[in-house]
Amino acid sequence: MKAIVVKPGPRRVRLSWENAADPRPGPGEVLLEVHATAVNRADLLQARGQYPPPPGVTEILGLEAAGVVRELGAGVSGWSAGDRAMALLPGGGYAERAVVHAGLLLPLPEGWSFAQGAAVPEAWIAAYLNLFEEAGLRAGEIVLIHAGASGVGTAAIQLAVAEGARVFATAGAAAKLAACRALGAEAAIDYKTQDFAVEVKARSGGRGVDVILDPVGAAHLRRNLELLAPCGRLVNIGVMGGSRAEIDLALILSKSLRLIGSRLRPRPLAERVGIVGRFRERVLPRFLAGELKPVIDRVLPIAQAEAAHELIRENRNIGKVVLEIPRPA
């Protein structure tokens, strides 16, 4: 098969579409013919050797895919060859074929393109997991979603609105702020020109927020803690704005705050299978009803993976950048 192979270079890595070994499904796994995958920031880090795959996982990039089930490993039930599926992968999506545990597959909604399917697993499952299972967001609560126009952010805004929460978002460009509002955010704040904590506090009548979903880290930490209402939860899912900061524990104690760190890929398989199962029950029906939709910035052929990474690195995307795998007609 063909796959993206990472070629280290003196100044930057090259992503080359070339021959690679075909994967074989083991017990409990299926072989997926990949029609589309999508870019995650973790892919950029992995390509530069800064986010190695967990032990036993392929070196091929790609945390999500959509395609057609072609072969079932021993003991797989509930899936048949020919089924259209979306997959949450530990790696291997940037390829013509990938193996995945059957418990990490979701049925592709009727009428959806493979590109739409590829835009769902990583961003939407991370948003669902961190808003609801980690932070325990409930209807009527107030949530602040940082990087609101990102892949995860565009999913999180929709999920929180659908749950009946009041949603605020931050982003760093006018078109991104407009996208956050169009998805249902009550207000979107330009964190580059405004103090988001002051703005959100004022808009919440001085109360602050119950939950913050934050991929930024250090640069936002002090204001995040100040903005949280009593019993508030801050879920940190990334460190795009640095990982080292000072914490005033008095704030955490006096307001009974919870600071939660959460990643998806390194979790044990059984945990990921459980999360995907609950996502299937709670969120998939809302895709089928047309209430929720993945936001796609653009779809590029996989041969342009380098250009796709560049777009993400330069923060130019609103929603997901999808890569299509060419198929003979």
- Binding stretches for ligand NAP (CB under 6 A): 40-42, 122-123, 126, 147, 149-152, 171-173, 176, 215-216, 219, 237-238, 240-241, 262-264, 312, 315, 317
Query: Are the C-beta atoms of 151 and 40 separated by less than 8 Å?
Result: yes
Q: How far is CA 176 from the centre of its chain?
A: 17
Least gap, CB of 159 to ligand NAP (angstroms): 13
DSSP secondary structure of 12-69: S-EEEEEE-PPP---TTEEEEEEEEEE--HHHHHHHTTSSPPPTTS-SS--SEEEEEE
Q: What does the alpha-carbon distance between residue 224 and residue 191 come to, in Å, rounded to a whole number? A: 12
Least gap, CB of 259 to ligand NAP (angstroms): 14
Query: Are the C-beta atoms of 144 and 211 separated by less than 8 Å?
Result: yes
Least gap, CB of 236 to ligand NAP (angstroms): 8
**Residue whose CB is less far from ligand NAP, 66 or 216:** 216
**Residue whose CB is less far from ligand NAP, 31 or 237:** 237
Residue sitting closest to ligand NAP (CB): 238
Least gap, CB of 109 to ligand NAP (angstroms): 21
**Residue whose CB is less far from ligand NAP, 197 or 312:** 312
C-alpha closest to that of 245 among 231, 230, 234: 234
**Residue whose CB is less far from ligand NAP, 62 or 215:** 215
| HSE-CB of 258 using CA atoms within 13 angstroms | 14
Least gap, CB of 301 to ligand NAP (angstroms): 20
**Residue whose CB is less far from ligand NAP, 35 or 176:** 176
